[in-house]
Amino acid sequence: GALLALSKPPGLPILGRPGDLSLDALLPALRRRLGLTAELHVVKAPAREYSGLVLLSSCYHTTKKLQQFFTNARWRGQYPATYHAITVGVPAEVEGEIRTGLRWQQQGDRAMVVPVLAPGRRSLARKDVKSTLTRYQVLGAMGDCALLQLQPRTAFPEQLQVHLTLLLCPALGDHEHSSCVGRVLGVPFFLTPETAPTRTQVLDKELLSRLGLSPRQLHRLPLHIHLQELVLP
């Protein structure tokens, strides 16, 4: 019918400035290649850093109906989107929920998302902090890495990356938040963003060898979070 699903590579933004490479800029060429007469709209897509499912529609009313469905599903406590992530570290529990407040915080000349473990009612009411929830399940583990299923019930930028650091298992390729997980004698612990400057993710020699990467190539390692499944009405 009106729906089209694609798999997006990591690093491709949905929207971009004129002349920049973005999914939105590619839609006219995609429409011509598929021989479609109607304009394509983005219904649902993962963030720039993520890979995975992009849902497009050639019908404006279908687009609005499905976008409203995703919003309503979260309000009803449902989990319409399922992600997979590869993590550095294995969670202590095989399944559970991560609940925390999230907010934007200025760090020097840049803004970043930070957790607020015990947000006050006033900050939540003013919407300075948003209460967030992600359900997780360990699907498999090998060595010091795990494959996780993640189902966010709320939507906030970088929610999944921050929630994984609170599990002490940052996503592979997370060069933004992984520095918040430190280790002493192999035991991980959480560092506040104020005390953990952003840096390229640090991996041990064994994992680097298994990935076939040198330390100099690490900054090019993409974020391993993938939008795996969307539930439609």
Give me the DSSP letters along 63-115.
HHHHHHHHHHHHHTT---EEEEEEEES--SSSEEEEEEEEEEEEETTEEEEEE
pLDDT > 90? residue 123: no
| Rounded-to-10 torsion of CA 220, 47, 13, 5 | 110
pLDDT tens per residue across span 45-86: 999 999 999 999 999 999 999 999 999 998 898 899 999 999
pLDDT > 90? residue 97: yes
Q: How many CB atoms lie within 10 A of CB 126?
A: 9
Q: What is the pLDDT of residue 65?
A: 95
**Average of per-residue pLDDT across 28-53:** 94
Tokens 């299923």 appear where?
149
| Among candidate residues 205, 204, 200, 197, the one with its CA nearest the CA of residue 223 | 200
- The whole-angstrom separation of Cα 55 and Cα 98 is 27
Q: What is the pLDDT of residue 86?
A: 98
Q: What is the pLDDT of residue 180?
A: 92
Q: Are strands 225-230 and 187-190 parallel, antiparallel or unpaired?
A: unpaired
Topology annotation, domain 3-78: Alpha-Beta Plaits (3.30.70)
| Among candidate residues 221, 96, 197, 101, the one with its CA nearest the CA of residue 149 | 96
- The whole-angstrom separation of Cα 134 and Cα 127 is 19
Q: What is the pLDDT of residue 85?
A: 98
Task: Give residue 17's pLDDT band: very low, low, confident or very high (50, 70, 90).
Answer: confident
Q: What is the pLDDT of residue 233?
A: 86
Q: What is the pLDDT of residue 18?
A: 84
Domain ranges across the chain:
3-78, 83-230
**Average of per-residue pLDDT across 138-155:** 95
Q: What is the pLDDT of residue 108?
A: 74
Q: What is the pLDDT of residue 75?
A: 86
**Average of per-residue pLDDT across 200-228:** 93
pLDDT tens per residue across span 166-179: 999 999 999 999 99
- The whole-angstrom separation of Cα 148 and Cα 137 is 6
Q: What is the pLDDT of residue 119?
A: 83
Q: How many CB atoms lie within 10 A of CB 193?
A: 18
- 222 or 127, which is more confident: 222
Identify the helix (H) or strand (E) that includes residue 206.
Answer: helix 205-211
Q: What is the pLDDT of residue 8?
A: 95
- The whole-angstrom separation of Cα 120 and Cα 79 is 26
**Average of per-residue pLDDT across 144-158:** 95
Arithmetic mean of pLDDT over the chain = 92
Structure tokens at 12: 């491709």
